[in-house]
């Protein structure tokens, strides 16, 4: 199992977390996503290699910034 933790700016509430989680759950390689607006992190678990450009693009298309 691969684990990736991204620092994401702009999340303000649980709704922001859900928007990111829902968007990233559309990527078939991703097994689990947990966003935390208080810490400014998105934790991704996957069984296979994930295209990080795709992940960043999905997050940034929602109006957030991946650091």
Max Cα-Cα span within the chain: 30
* Total of domains in the chain: 1
pTM value?
0.94
Please give the pLDDT value at position 43. 98
Nearest to 56 by CA among 16, 14, 36, 27: 27
Pairing of strands 41-46, 2-9: antiparallel
Q: What is the CATH number of the domain that holds 55?
A: 3.30.70.100
Residues of the chain with pLDDT under 70: none
Please give the pLDDT value at position 52. 96
Q: Which structural domain, as residue segments, surrounds residue 57?
A: 2-66
Quick one: CA dihedral 4, 7, 9, 13, positive or negative? positive
Burial of 43 (0-12, 13-18, 19+ CB in 10 A): middle
Please give the pLDDT value at position 1. 84
């Amino acid at each position: 199992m691969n684990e990736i933790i991204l620092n994401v700016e702009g999340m303000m509430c649980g709704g922001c977390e859900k928007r990111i989680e829902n968007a990233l759950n559309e990527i078939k390689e991703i097994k689990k996503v947990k966003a935390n607006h208080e810490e400014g992190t998105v934790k991704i678990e996957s069984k296979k290699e994930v295209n990080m450009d795709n992940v960043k693009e999905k997050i940034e298309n929602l109006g957030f910034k991946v650091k």
